Chains A and B, each alone.
Chain A
Amino acid sequence: QKEVEQNSGPLSVPEGAIASLNCTYSDRVSQSFFWYRQYSGKSPELIMSIYSNGDKEDGRFTAQLNKASQYVSLLIRDSQPSDSATYLCAGGMRGGADGLTFGKGTHLIIQP
């Protein structure tokens, strides 16, 4: 199994709906997880980080971590056209101190 896997998409979601992005990972990156958003031609910017099992909410974003099943998800509520971007899931040991392992990213399109 590759270390961090994501469906590349594109994932198309109507404006105002909930966008659900998923990521699975191998044991080697099983400590800390991060969701980054990347607009075309731009650098990744952090959306959410999660370290413990369960849900973590920040505004319209909710990150979910299930270590038993080795998956991480990101929910975006009330999706806006400005949410259209590539979402990168990343994991790392030691809180990411030794660098992050990224998935290939999911391309999200919010349809007006």
Chain B
Amino acid sequence: DADVTQTPRNRITKTGKRIMLECSQTKGHDRMYWYRQDPGLGLRLIYYSFDVKDINKGEISDGYSVSRQAQAKFSLSLESAIPNQTALYFCATSEGLLAGVRETQYFGPGTRLLVL
């Protein structure tokens, strides 16, 4: 079984709809991240979480919210989807070692979202 899973893998929705993307991990990592990837723009950080009570905004958090329901689960919500949120969304996890020491991020398979 995959260590980091994302559901759904593909989603088509309409402008104005609320949508939730879910991420689960069995790696036992404390830190979880949400990125979006757009053609020609690379990956950009949306939100990240160090634990259930510690949520932080990333570079492009406007229009998104997150929920860390448990150590293993981190959900991304689009409260009112708009077409420019069409993108490939990745969840990632890392071990949360001491700052300054390697924090390899492991990525889930991605969710491809299309907002019409």
Contacts and interface: CB of A to CB of B under 8 A. Distances in A.
Contacts of A21: none
Interface stretch (B63-71, B72-80, B92-100): B92-100
Contacts of B56: 98
A52 B29 CA distance: 25
A34 B104 contact: yes
Interface residues of B, number: 31
Interface in A30-89: 31-32, 34, 42-46, 49, 51, 88
A: interface residue count bin: 20 to 34
A44 to B, nearest CB: 5
Nearest to B6: A43
A19 to B, nearest CB: 20
A4 B108 CA distance: 23
Contacts, number: 71
B44 A102 contact: yes
A96 B105 contact: yes
B45 interface: yes
Contact of A43 (B40, B48, B58, B90): B90
A31 B44 contact: no
Interface in B29-69: 31, 33, 35, 40-45, 48, 50, 56, 58-59
Contacts of A44: 43, 90, 107
A18 to B, nearest CB: 25
A103 B42 contact: yes
Contacts of A32: 102-103
A41 B44 CA distance: 17
Interface of A: 4, 8, 31-32, 34, 42-46, 49, 51, 88, 90, 92, 94-105
8 contacts: A31-B100, A95-B98, A95-B103, A96-B94, A96-B105, A97-B31, A97-B94, A101-B59
